[in-house]
Amino acid sequence: MNQFDKEILNVDRVICENIAQEAALGIKLLSQNIIAQLRNFVEAIALKIYSFTNETEVSYEEKKKAPSYIRSRDDLSFLRKFHASLQVTASHSTMEPEAATRMMWKYLEFMYECKSYVKREFGLDILHNLDELEIINDNDLAEYYKKIALVLECTPTCHISKSPTDRFYINKKRPFRYGGRDVL
């Protein structure tokens, strides 16, 4: 295992340990703790990617160069957007608990993208307990999402209506997870 993998896995361990302590910490403190680690996490991934094309080591100076490299690659737009958002929210101040919980909604999708990218490209299993993270703590809302997921599973992906003039518009798409997998 090289130094870049160790850097990623070190931050991953901290995030996963926080998720494992969700019941004791509560969702607000958990969100604050995770967001405080996410910038280090994304920068560690960026540094690993940067290291493939440049001789580099894990250092503060190299960590500053890696995000610039990520911005130059179109295939890493999710990582670029994630890092840009984290620079604003997870910089040198601690977020309010309610704001941190709302931001976790946004960051959760990015975290899943990072998880699959790192597995596919580097063969590293990270964020192994991300599915255990329960951002939805309102039972009514969880039940609502469960019903949507069940309907989507039962509905064929291509439905031909009797009338070709029937149109449906999607105003907003918000993916969510149910049963350990993405829905929508």
Same domain membership, residue 162 and residue 122: no
**Measuring CA to CA, how many Å separate 21 from each of 16, 26, 63, 115?**
9, 8, 29, 20
pTM of the model: 0.74
Q: How many domains does the chain have?
A: 2
Same domain membership, residue 127 and residue 152: no
Same domain membership, residue 160 and residue 94: no
Q: Grade residue 118 by pLDDT with cuts at 50, 70 and 90.
A: very high
44-103: pLDDT as tens digits:
999 999 998 877 777 788 888 898 899 999 999 999 999 999 988 877 778 888 888 888
Give Cβ neighbours of residue 1 (< 8 Å, ≥ 6 apart).
9
Same domain membership, residue 115 and residue 74: yes
